Amino acid sequence: MEVQGGDHPYVPRDLKLPGFVPCFLTQLDIVSVYGVASTLVFAFMWIFSGRFPKISKGDRLLMCWWIFTGLTHMVLEGYFVFSPNFYKEKTPFYLAEVWKEYSKGDSRYAARDSAVISVEGITAVLEGPACLLAVYAIATRKSYRYILQVAISLGQLYGTAVYFITAVLEGDNFAVSPYYYYWYYVFANSFWVWIPTIIVVHCWKRISSAVQIQDQTKTKTR
Amino acid sequence: MEVQGGDHPYVPRDLKLPGFVPCFLTQLDIVSVYGVASTLVFAFMWIFSGRFPKISKGDRLLMCWWIFTGLTHMVLEGYFVFSPNFYKEKTPFYLAEVWKEYSKGDSRYAARDSAVISVEGITAVLEGPACLLAVYAIATRKSYRYILQVAISLGQLYGTAVYFITAVLEGDNFAVSPYYYYWYYVFANSFWVWIPTIIVVHCWKRISSAVQIQDQTKTKTR
């Protein structure tokens, strides 16, 4: 099954990946498993969060997002960060398949680009566990729940910005075709742009209004 | 004055910098100008912030930091981001001299490393102006002053993390000597690690206590 001479489907074509082994699963298999697993995680958290009486529907939706993105960061991205040889994987191991497939949209994953690894490392090691903490913080209405969500969301936005800017600076030629470029690189990543943006705006307003009330209380008691 | 054949003082030695022109100013000149300018900016802001009666000494110190780091981001780092040919500068233009000198501690600046440019671009274009907004927000006690300071500080920490991690992943061999490595690369950058960390902790506590008071108020009024 091993492809000789570093042959692989990725772009740029002169990328050397000795020992590359092609995907065993189809695109439909890989995407379906992620879709079904994510739906189950969402559904579980939606039902579970309903057991907390004081949690609004908006907060329950946020808990679904945080468990989904947290597990994505820790499991999928965590595997990538600590598996430099995923493209040599000789079995249809799902996590390796994901990155073999995603590299068709951005070959810097297979090429071990240092900016990609740095961003994915911070995301998997720091932000992933912080997402699970956010689920707990929302459920138990901790006073740090808004600032924690802002912190993680800004981290996701900063990471995505570095991810896209470095690609542009390096020629933006890492996708096999426009299909993979738009679906994997642009569309899939766009969720980590617009969702964190909405969360930052939402929590920013909540924090500002809380600080305003505190400021007014202090002024009154003077 | 132009050095032939891409000769330059930086490491790695095989780095090609055609048209490189050495520093005109001495290290003492370059560091002194930055030191004196920064001291003047600090002193101006300390005196100016004293005109606001309700601002604590801690907040005045924060205003000094934000004006200093904001101007550093916009002027020094802004020049770097938009001046890919700074190392060819044939006059003793101060901003070019700064980066010719700093590249002795990290040649990725002269080499136009894409991770460095991405981080510096975000820092100069987004965080620099946001720092000036933080000065205004503290002075006028805006309700978003804490969350804004957390947002910028986390950006600085994320940027510094990407900056150091990419260097390690690429072999950490970009300094002319241990002297430049420790003074320029480690010591100078360390200010953008420990100061933002202190600010995040400080503002995080303030925000959490404001949210806690708001939560309690809401519970009472129910």
Buried b (16+ CB within 10 A) or exposed e, B44-70: ebeeebeeeeebeeebbebbbbbbbbb
User: How far A138 CA lies from chain B's nearest CA (Å)?
Assistant: 13
User: How far A54 CA lies from chain B's nearest CA (Å)?
Assistant: 11
pLDDT in the model for residue B217:
86
pLDDT (tens, 9 = 90+) of chain B, 222 residues, equals: 444 545 899 999 999 999 999 999 999 999 999 999 999 999 999 999 999 888 999 999 999 999 999 999 999 999 999 999 999 999 999 999 999 999 999 999 999 999 999 999 999 999 999 999 999 999 999 999 999 999 999 999 999 999 999 999 999 999 999 999 999 999 999 999 999 999 999 999 999 999 999 999 877 765
Q: Which residues of A touch B154 (CB under 8 A)?
A: 151, 154-155, 158
Q: What is the pLDDT of residues A121-163, one digit of tens each?
A: 999 999 999 999 999 999 999 999 999 999 999 999 999 999 9
| Rounded percentage of chain B residues whose pLDDT exceeds 90 | 93
Nearest to B155 by CA among A81, A201, A71, A162: A162
Q: Which residue shows structure tokens 């073999």?
A: A100
| Nearest Cβ partner for B122 among A150, A158, A213 | A158
Q: Which residues of A touch B218 (CB under 8 A)?
A: none
User: How far A32 CA lies from chain B's nearest CA (Å)?
Assistant: 33
User: How far A205 CA lies from chain B's nearest CA (Å)?
Assistant: 8
In a 3-state reduction of DSSP, which class is residue B26? coil
Q: What share of chain A is helix, strand, coil (3-state, %, to 5)?
A: 75, 0, 25
- Using the Cα atoms of residue A208, residue A193, residue B131 and residue B60 in order, give the sign of their dihedral: positive
- Residue to test with chain A: of B158, B168, B169, B172, most A Cβ within 10 A: B158
Per-residue three-class SS string for A80-119: HHCCCCHHHCCCCCHHHHHHHHHCCCCCHHHHCCHHHHHH
Residue B220: C-alpha distances to residues A134, A194, B194 (Å)? 25, 35, 39
Nearest to A124 by CA among A189, A192, A77: A77
Whole-model pTM over 0.80? yes
Which residues of chain A have a pLDDT value below 70? 1-6, 221-222
pLDDT in the model for residue A6:
59
pLDDT in the model for residue A187:
98
**Is the ipTM of this structure higher than 0.90?**
yes
Whether residue B147 and residue A212 make contact (CB cut-off 8 A), yes or no, is no
Cβ-contact B148, B133 below 8 angstroms: yes
Q: Which residues of A touch B134 (CB under 8 A)?
A: none
Rounded to whole angstroms, how far apart are CA atoms B13 and A12? 27
Q: Which residue on chain A is closest to B216 by alpha carbon?
A: A143
Q: Which residue on chain A is closest to B112 by alpha carbon?
A: A169
